[in-house]
Amino acid sequence: MIKHTDIVILLPYILIAGTSVVTMLAIAFYRHHGLTVLITLMGLSGALVLTCIIFSIPILHRQITSLIIIDGYALFFTGLILAASIVVTLLSYDYLEIHDGHHEEFYLLLLFATLGTAVLVASGHFVSLFLGIEILSVSLYALAAYLRHSDRSIEAGVKYLILAAVSSAFILFGMALVYAETGSMEFSQIALRAAASGVHGLPYTAGLGLLVIGLGFKLGVVPFHMWTPDVYEGAPAPVTAFIATVSKGAVFALVLRYFSRVDLHAHRSLFVILTITAIASMFAGNLLALLQRNVKRILAYSSISHVGYLLVTLLASGPLAVSAAAFYLAAYFVTTLGAFGVVTVLSDRDRDADSMDDYAGLAWRRPWLAGVFTAMLLSLAGIPLTAGFVGKFYVVAAGMGSALWLLVIVLVINSAIGLFYYLRIIVALYAHPEEETAPRPALSLSGKAALAGLTLSLVWLGVYPGPVIEIIKKTLQSLI
């Protein structure tokens, strides 16, 4: 039964859903880009504030029905997701202004997708898991193909549609098998029953395997990564930013929660498979990125390797690993949003700024923008003073803490390989300009605010991460 207080705790989620309804009505009565953005921003910020308030009152944290678990963990990631969505909204405004067509429905889809991810990170049950994933995926199909006049955008949307639908089928089948073996769809119950009855039969393992495959698709780990570069390249830049951060982050948070209940080490074969996946993702992501000339594709392959790094924390398991994952995700959100943010603001009407040539000599044309991009790339590479440095350090520490030597060494080797292509972009940024280029369009206020906020957070997390780590540590006490 849902009590009154439960409604209060669910307010952030209700507010997001409510905002999407309001947006829909607003579009029906008065179609206006600025107004829609304003409503969206107000809704998301309101939800963020509510999340923070509930987050700071631990007695409110509880499970609501068997579907939703509102604990510190869920609220932390919900906050992260909402903040990221606000940034994406700010970036989208300019981006859509210069493109033709209706802009308003974009925000509606964005709100739905955000709601889906927020449900995902709070789900403790297969039903809510599936609901969250479907709400997210269906919105993303449309978002990826939002620029209807662009072939590549349509291609990205269709590709994402087909693969996401297939992976959903895998997830469904996996859930069915696990349910058939354990008789429950609740994570905690599944873990208990599997441990008690010693269910290690083929159907159960196969079910877990299918789940891993389905979720692996969403995360874009090797060998399920093929869609990532194409979708990243084809989708509008703000949508790419959303897929790279919010969508992947939420799925990872869910996987992390699931495997904090279901002991990964008890399933030796699964552990080995995930280890291989992690290693393959790191290597494939970094090595293939070396071959790319397209900045969006480079970032796509880099994201594959970053998910590989994150898998190390999943395999390490334990409090240190979970806090490392949470911190890494926070750092990764900031960094990736920043990187795609720069791509977004540089894009023009005809195409996204994804060619290396768009960035040649940027430092002398638009020094601030180049500075932001440099900071983001250095953070992806894990260089000090940036969030990525502390994140990488934390992940390596987590791996070492669980004595995963192989994974840690692979991670370290890959960080060195990764540097190579990040540096290549940076070299281009600071190349001497050949000729004076056309006068530059000024950044709008929303783009400036988003990028400035991201850069400040990046440096803050890199220089003074203590408070954030403290919050994460507190949060994790509520998990398990």
Tell me the closest approach of the beta carbon of residue 106 to another protein, in angstroms.
37
Told to check if 412 binds another protein by CB under 8 A, we report yes
Residue 384 near another protein by CB under 8 A: yes
Among 100, 348, 357, 470, binds another protein (CB under 8 A): 470
- Which listed residue (16, 372, 419, 443) binds another protein by CB under 8 A? 419
**Smallest distance, Å, CB 383 to another protein?**
6
Of residues 124, 120, 152, 146, the one with CA closest to residue 133:
120
Cα radius of gyration (the chain): 21
Q: Is 396 in the site for another protein (CB under 8 A)?
A: yes
Q: Using a CB cutoff of 8 Å and minimum separation of 24, what contacts does 134-140 make?
A: 134/168, 136/247, 136/250, 137/164, 137/165, 137/168, 137/218, 138/112, 139/109, 139/110, 139/112, 139/113, 140/113, 140/164, 140/239, 140/242, 140/243, 140/247
CB neighbourhood size of 243 (10 A): 27
Please report whether residue 264 would count as binding another protein according to CB under 8 A: no
Among 195, 423, 452, 480, binds another protein (CB under 8 A): 423
Segment near another protein (CB under 8 A), from 33-41, 51-59, 211-219, 388-396? 388-396
Binding mask 76-115 for another protein (x = CB under 8 A): ----------------------------------------
Whichever of 222 and 396 has its CB closer to another protein, that residue is: 396
Give min distance, CB of 36 to another protein, in A: 38
Contacting another protein within 348-367 (CB under 8 A)? 364
Q: How far is CA 66 from each of CA 190, 262, 329, rounded to the nearest angstrom?
A: 13, 17, 27
Q: Would you say 158 or 383 has its CB closer to another protein? A: 383
Interacting stretch for another protein, rule CB under 8 A, among 44-52, 255-263, 287-295, 418-426? Answer: 418-426
For another protein, which residue of 144, 389, 447, 455 counts as binding (CB under 8 A)? 389
Residue 469 as a binder of another protein (CB under 8 A): the answer is yes
Residue among 378, 404, 410, 425 that touches another protein (CB under 8 A): 378
Among residues 14, 49, 127, 397, which is the contact residue for another protein, using CB under 8 A?
397
Three-state SS annotation for 119-187: HHHHECEHHHHHHHHHHHHHHHHHHHCCCCCCHHHHHHHHHHHHHHHHHHHHHHHHHHHHHHHHCCCEH
Among the listed ranges 43-51, 52-60, 221-229, 461-469, the one in contact with another protein (CB under 8 A) is: 461-469
Which residues, in sequence order, are bridge partners of residue 62?
A: 70
Q: Name which of 161, 162, 292 is nearest 233 in CA terms.
A: 292
CA distance 304 to 298: 10
Among 7, 169, 291, 427, binds another protein (CB under 8 A): 427
Please report whether residue 466 would count as binding another protein according to CB under 8 A. yes
Residue 203 or 401 with smaller CB distance to another protein: 401
Task: Look at the block and give the residue holding tokens 């390490």.
Answer: 316
| CB 14 to another protein: min, Å | 34
Cα-flanking dihedrals φ and ψ of residue 64, to 5°? -115, 115
Phi and psi torsions of 70, nearest 5°: -100, 95
The verdict on whether omega for the bond into residue 441 sits within 30 degrees of 0, i.e. cis, is no
Residue placing its CB nearer to another protein in the complex, 149 or 432: 432
Residue 385 is a binding residue for another protein (CB under 8 A): yes
For residues 248 and 303, the answer to whether their CB atoms sit within 8 Å is yes
Q: Does 416 bind another protein (CB under 8 A)?
A: yes
- Least distance in Å: CB of 367 to another protein? 8
Nearest to 338 by CA among 77, 88, 153: 88
Q: Does 408 bind another protein (CB under 8 A)?
A: yes
Query: CA 330 to CA 391: how far, in whole Å?
Result: 9
Q: 69: part of which helix (H) or strand (E)?
A: strand 68-70
72 binds another protein (CB under 8 A): no
Q: Which stretch binds another protein (CB under 8 A): 17-25, 172-180, 352-360, 397-405?
A: 397-405
Interface size with another protein, residues (CB under 8 A):
29
DSSP 8-state secondary structure symbol assigned to residue 246: I
Check binding of 33 to another protein (CB under 8 A).
no
Where do contacts with another protein occur on this chain (CB under 8 A)? 364, 378, 383-385, 389-390, 393-394, 396-397, 400-401, 408-409, 412, 415-416, 419-420, 423, 427, 430, 464-466, 469-470, 473
